[in-house]
Structure formats: structure tokens, C-alpha cells
Copies of this chain bind each other. A is one copy, B any other.
């Protein structure tokens, strides 16, 4: 793998503090690959041969059952995904596909496990990452079980707004079709939900979202750090 990618990968919390020679030995067995959009990188159920790192582009994690499909998360650069399967040496629970032209680093799972066994600092980082991932999914579950789809959308928009440094107008980061799936609803229902939020000052035009009265939307959405905070 070209050394040019090392610095940005090194900035990931997962790899930041570990010993240089261990990092290099991880990189030695890895390789970068460029994928066009809509390529399936992973099929759920497959053995977890590689830890994946998105260096550019974006990746959709999704799951299927009995002919149905749902979007579980979107991975943006620079982040890893399917760490848990790699560590447990267990089958992937989610499938992954590129959403756009993407560059992915593949680190052999056995190398990750090997370094994990000998580098306490790396092990420490893995624990932090896994705990983080765990808490994220718990929040997702709470979101699904405790809120209606309208409430989920409202809170999603507030989160996106925070992401956009609180701007009154911002662009949706993902296409509506997948946003609907991510929020656990149909595209038709999402369309109607957007309209339903007009009562709270939300205007949507294509991918442009305008929130005229954040306070008002918050009164409805009732965001909670125990559901909507992705950092803690």
C-alpha cells in the first residue's frame, strides 16, 4: 500500500497512539482499492477477512432478511467499519456497498487480531472504539422503540443542523430514499413526514433543508443526549 495514505489512517483514534512498528506491520499486509459506486464490498454472513477503512467516498451498511432490506448506517471518511466482526473472527452482520466512487483500505483481520494481542495501547483503542459503537447502536434502538417516525426525522434534522454548525439552511447528506430506510420508514412516508414538519418551521426543497425556528422544532423533537449525541 502507498505510504501516502499512512498519515490520514494514523489520525484515526484507533491507530493514533499505537507503536509505530505495529502500525507499520498492520499497513504492510494491507492494500488500497478503488471502487466504483454501488459495489458490494461485504455480504452479511461472510467470514470477516478484512477490517475496512473508508479513505474517500462513502459506504452504506445495510442488512436484509426475507426479501426486505434496511440501511443501518453510512460510513464517511476516514473511519473503519465492521471492527467487531474482525475482532471476534465472526461473520459480518451487515452488508456494505459503496455509495459513490470510494477508496477503501483493507487490513487483514488476522493481522489486526495479532497486533491487538501484543500491543496494549492498540487494545485500549479498540476497547474505546467498540464501547463507542455499542453505545451508538443502543441509541439507535432507543430511537426506534421510543419515537415515532416524525420524531425520528425531526431529531435527525436537528443533528444534521448541529453538524452544519447550526446553520439555518443545510444540505441533506444522504439521498432521501436511504434516509427513509435509515430512519425505519418508506420513502413515501418520509415525503409526508417532511410536510408534517412544516408545522414546526421546516422547509425542504430538493436536498436543501431550511429550519426557520430551531427552538420550535426542538420543542417538538425533544432531543436527548442519551439518544442523539453521537459523541459520548
Chain A residues within 8 Å of B, Cβ to Cβ: 44-45, 63-66, 68, 70, 72, 83-85, 87-88, 90-91, 93-94, 116-117, 120, 123-124, 126-128, 130-135, 137-142, 144-147, 184, 222, 224-227, 232
Contact = CB atoms under 8 A, between A and B. Distances in A.
- Copies of this chain present in the complex amount to 2
Contact of A226 (B45, B117, B130, B137): B45
A138 B135 contact: no
A63 to B, nearest CB: 5
Contacts of A227: 65
B90 A222 contact: no
A226 B70 contact: no
23 contacts: A63-B142, A65-B146, A65-B147, A65-B226, A66-B147, A70-B142, A70-B146, A72-B141, A84-B130, A91-B225, A93-B142, A116-B124, A120-B120, A123-B123, A126-B127, A130-B130, A130-B131, A130-B134, A137-B138, A140-B141, A144-B145, A144-B184, A145-B184
| Residue among A83, A128, A141 having the largest count of chain B Cβ atoms under 10 Å | A141
A84 B129 CA distance: 10
A107 to B, nearest CB: 16
A128 B88 contact: yes
A6 to B, nearest CB: 25
A140 B134 CA distance: 12
A124 B124 contact: no
A91 B224 CA distance: 13
Contacts of A139: 93
Given A90-B232, A123-B124, A66 B131 contact: no
A87 B184 contact: no
Contacts of A224: 65
B88 A146 contact: no
